[in-house]
């Protein structure tokens, strides 16, 4: 099994630019989660999907953030426009309905200058 | 709301045992997890325990759960330099098969001294 795949691994952009982060969950997993990790706030859940449908986006910080899951094997997290305070590591995780645990991707380290 | 607390830092000598402790507040926790994060990497699931168990052993790892005190610990026997990482305790409050809100602790950084 390839595990959760995220791209890019690193992204450096300038304030005001659009950023798109990508995730491919583990095949057969029907839950997908987007998290953000910072030193100050630790690991925060941004949004999660079940069977490609967004279920809870209460963790999305503001309207500049949006997430989509057009099919079972692909999800995107978009920030438009990006700000320096968005700098963090963004993780995608997936889980089977019958499973007990979430499995994480390697993360995307985002730096907004 | 739910809260998971763990100490920030632990230092041990190579070959000794490490014990990382965690407390949680949600009495309806169903699963408790330990994840490991190495520098520049994602969170790797190490092990998890169902709330009706009090111990789980997997090679060098032993998980102890005291449900009464809401205390979880991870013991690593014969700690190696490769065990140096941040260890996250986490709990979920729903059984598998449904929505599973997972609450993570802040992470304990384990430093192994050669």
User: Would you call A57 an interface residue with chain B, using a CB distance cutoff of 8 Å?
Assistant: no
User: Which of A25-34, A53-62, B24-33 shows the lowest mean pLDDT across its residues?
Assistant: B24-33
- Taking CA–CA distances from A6, the nearest residue in chain B reads B42
User: Would you call A58 an interface residue with chain B, using a CB distance cutoff of 8 Å?
Assistant: no
B94: pLDDT strictly greater than 80:
no
Res B1: pLDDT:
61
Q: How close does chain B come to A19, measured CA to CA in Å?
A: 20
Q: What rounded mean pLDDT belongs to chain B?
A: 91
CA angle A48, A53, A56 (to 5 degrees): 35
Best residue in B6, B88, B100, B103 for a mutation probing chain A (most A CBs within 10 Å): B100
List, for residues B35-45, the tens digit of each pLDDT value: 999 998 999 99
Task: Report d(CA B62, CA A110) in Å as an integer.
Answer: 35
Beta bridge partners of B12: B112
pLDDT band for position B95 (50/70/90)?
A: low
Alpha-carbon distances of B4 from A46, A91, B24, B30, B71, rounded to whole Å: 18, 20, 4, 14, 10
Strand order in the sheet with B71-76: B4-6, B18-24, B71-76, B61-66, B55-58
The β-bridge relationship of strands B9-13 and B108-113 is parallel
Res B2: pLDDT:
72
Region label for B70, one of left (φ > 0), alpha (ψ between -120 and 50) or beta (otherwise): left
Judging contacts by C-beta atoms under 8 Å, the chain B residues touching residue A25 are none
Best residue in B5, B33, B42, B97 for a mutation probing chain A (most A CBs within 10 Å): B42
> Is the Cα torsion angle B38, A95, B32, A21 positive or negative in sign?
positive
Averaged pLDDT, B65-92? 95
Judging contacts by C-beta atoms under 8 Å, the chain A residues touching residue B105 are 42
């Amino acid at each position: 099994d390839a595990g959760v795949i995220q791209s890019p691994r690193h992204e450096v952009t300038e304030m005001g630019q659009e950023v798109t982060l990508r995730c491919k969950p583990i095949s057969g997993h029907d839950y997908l989660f987007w998290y953000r990790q910072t030193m100050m706030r630790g690991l925060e859940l941004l949004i999660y999907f079940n069977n490609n449908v967004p279920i809870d986006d209460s963790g999305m910080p503001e309207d500049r953030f949006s997430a989509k899951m057009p099919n079972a094997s692909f999800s995107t997290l978009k920030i438009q426009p990006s700000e320096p305070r968005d700098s963090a590591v963004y993780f995608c995780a997936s889980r089977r309905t019958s499973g007990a645990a979430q499995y994480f991707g390697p993360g995307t380290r985002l730096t907004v200058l | 709301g739910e809260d998971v607390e763990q100490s920030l830092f632990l230092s041990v000598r190579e070959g000794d045992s490490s014990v990382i402790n965690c407390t949680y507040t949600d009495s309806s926790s169903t699963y408790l997890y330990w994840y490991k994060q190495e520098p520049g990497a994602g969170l790797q699931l190490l092990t998890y325990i169902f709330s009706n168990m009090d111990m789980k052993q997997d090679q060098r790892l032993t998980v102890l759960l005291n449900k009464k005190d809401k205390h979880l610990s991870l013991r690593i026997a014969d700690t190696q330099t490769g065990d140096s990482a941040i260890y996250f305790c986490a709990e979920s409050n729903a059984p598998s098969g449904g929505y599973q809100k997972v609450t993570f602790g802040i992470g304990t950084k384990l430093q192994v001294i050669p």
